[in-house]
Amino acid sequence: MQTKLTLLSALILIHLLSCSSYAADPAFQAIPPEVRQKYHFDFGRLFFATSDVEKEERKQYEHQLSQLEQFKGKTITSPDNLLAAMKDYDECLRQFMKHYIYFYLHAAVDAKDEVSSEQASLLDAEFSKKTAFLQTELTTMDDTTLRTFVKKEPTLEQYSFAIQSYSRFRPYTLSLPQEEILSDSSPLISNWPFDLYQKLLSNTRFADVKSNGESWNVRSRRADIAVSPDRNLRKEGFQKLYEGYASNREFYAFTLLKSVAAQNKLAVLRHFKNAPDQVYFNSYWNPEDVRQLLERIATLASVYKHYQQIRAGEISKRFGYPDVNLWDLTASAPGGSVPRFNIDQASSIIREALAPLGDEYGRQLSLLLNPANGRMDIVPGDNRQSGGFSEGFPGIPSVFFSSGFEGYYNDMRILTHESTHAIHRQLMNENSVQPVYAEGPHFLFESFAIFNEFLLPDYLHSKEKDPLLRSYFLEQFLDGKGTALFYAAQDAMLEQALYEELDKLQSADDLDFLTQKISDRFSIWPAQHKELRMRWITNSLFYEDPLYNINYVYGSLLALKYYQLLLKDPHNFVPRYIGLMKNGFDVPPSVLLKKFLGIDMNDPQILSDAVNLIAQKVSQLEHEYAVEPSASLPGN
């Protein structure tokens, strides 16, 4: 869920860009017409030659699923049965993911393809229902019995952690009939909030503003409005965008609060206190530790506020504004532009920026970025799913999708982030990771992707000679994910409060008040702009993937640690880091981090070191601002 332009993107002046290799060209094309066809998924090559082939292979999958169901009630009666059931489950999982991803990608490429969307949802519900017995039976298996089975059938050792993982959920697993009912109901319970949110967005009337005689919609053209040199246009665009949200705010509030209530109810059914406790448990976190971490980050947010203040001060200096508003932070000077990169430039830069990760990573990255392989779908068009994501699984080449690559830095950042997820999956694939170990806590996935988001602006900053562009790329380090520890914690704390204080929340006004109270702890801007009280509307993850934001907090914390380790000893760090990416999730995440990188997730020094690193980058930016030849810039 990405936007085309980050909130704090910096201004770049046209006379400097004209000297840069990233200069804006009036004839700029992010993806030239002659190669656009290559930047679409090759479904026939990656998945099934035709839809008829998919149907035939789905019959084989359904047969495999039926074969697995034969172990219902007999899974743990003998070592042979247990081994056979786990092998069948692995194969079912592999086949399921191939069909599911196939339909999911079709629905992303064409959001009006309701058939594919429904097929993906039905496949997911069916797989969950028909494999529910396996989780129910495995939760009853104790460690002593498992050790006895492994002694009799040593091949079972490869599944030991998967089996033991189910035992963690013993107190939270329902009876098989109840689990099957929940699996059947899952699409109805989980899918509607985001579906309704998207319909609300499409039916919310966002106004137009005038720019040089053209009408620009304040939502669909918000990136262009944000970088306009016309200050009044930026202000009007910002205010009318939130006026649009406000026009339907009670419906957005209804959607969010009902979703929160449903997630809490499901968690209580499974004997958790609430939905946050369930999500935290799933990621091997102690709920109280999470709450304490968020509180500690909030108490250290002065670093983030200081960064916002020096950014505002620099804008004031460059433009001569006596007061700086949020809409000023993204401004271009008159006649100015922001750097843009065509897809060839972006691909080359990403490969060079990530070269420190070694040849094995670089080889997989080159294969993904090569359009001849049909693994990227990035050409803008109508009816495409918003944002960017990657998919992949053992036996399935990983892929990258975005709503449309338009050549802005943020497009390149998204490609860097999501390609990391794709390469991570491909490394596991090449390392023959078993399907049961191909998925794990999402904060680890995010930590790898966020780490690479540091390497991209770091590389551009190190290669750039122009002082303003150097500052720009350092700002991107901080704006992109360098300060994510704080703004992700802000979102995670707000989302946690939604679930824990639900009984106090009845209306949009209540959500506004809660958002303001929490946001003031992290940022200087909510007090100045009352519109930001409606941030609970604009964070689509609240509706699409409840309680996902906490993964960015832990992911950022780890990514900052990886960055420190790379700077300190790259020769030692890189092979161990790639080893971690290749390994899969065959032990708890804390064990993986300790084994490969010597990181102790419970060490309070990790947060202190992370905040110190951010503070150093902020100081570096402050120094670069001080030595910029700003007096000579036009418009000052």
- pLDDT at residue 1 in the model: 41
Domain closes at, from 137, 165, 189: 189
Answer whether residue 210 is part of any domain: no
CA distance 583 to 528: 47
**517 and 617, same domain (yes or no):** yes
Answer whether residue 351 is part of any domain: no
Answer whether residue 373 is part of any domain: no
- pLDDT at residue 235 in the model: 95
Low-confidence ranges of the chain (pLDDT < 50): 1-21, 23-24, 630-636
**175 and 302, same domain (yes or no):** no
**179 and 278, same domain (yes or no):** no
**170 and 261, same domain (yes or no):** no
Axis crossing angle, helix 605-627 with helix 484-500, rounded to the nearest 10: 130
**57 and 155, same domain (yes or no):** yes
**120 and 257, same domain (yes or no):** no
Altogether, the residues listed in the chain come to a count of 636
pTM: 0.91
Q: Could you tell me the two tokens for 310?
A: 């020096």
**183 and 259, same domain (yes or no):** no
- pLDDT at residue 180 in the model: 84
Residues forming beta bridges with residue 391, ordered by sequence position: 399
Q: What is the 3-state secondary structure (H, E, C) of 56-69?
A: HHHHHHHHHHHHHH
Residues forming beta bridges with residue 408, ordered by sequence position: 340
- Structural domain count of the chain: 2
Domain closes at, from 170, 189, 208: 189
**Cβ distance 397 to 374 under 8 Å?**
no
CA distance 391 to 389: 7
**Cβ distance 606 to 599 under 8 Å?**
yes
Phi and psi dihedrals of 544, rounded to 5? -85, -45
Measured in whole angstroms, the distance separating CA 614 from the mean position of its chain's CA atoms is: 21
CA distance 604 to 14: 45
CATH number of the domain that residue 138 is part of: 1.20.140.70
- pLDDT at residue 631 in the model: 36
CA angle 262, 266, 267 (to 5 degrees): 115
- Give the 3-state secondary structure of residue 138: helix
**65 and 136, same domain (yes or no):** yes
Is the Cα dihedral 185, 187, 189, 192 positive or negative?
negative
**Cβ distance 577 to 597 under 8 Å?**
yes
Answer whether residue 177 is part of any domain: yes
CATH number of the domain that residue 477 is part of: 1.10.1370.20
**176 and 257, same domain (yes or no):** no
Closest by CA to 377, choosing from 111, 117, 109, 114, is 109
Answer whether residue 184 is part of any domain: yes
Answer whether residue 107 is part of any domain: yes
Q: What is the 3-state secondary structure (H, E, C) of 523-559?
A: CCCCCCCHHHHHHHHHCCHHHHCCCCCHHHHHHHHHH
Domain closes at, from 189, 212, 239: 189
**184 and 256, same domain (yes or no):** no
**64 and 153, same domain (yes or no):** yes
Domain encompassing residue 449: 249-323+441-568+600-631
**307 and 454, same domain (yes or no):** yes
Answer whether residue 258 is part of any domain: yes
Answer whether residue 1 is part of any domain: no
Residue type at position 597: L
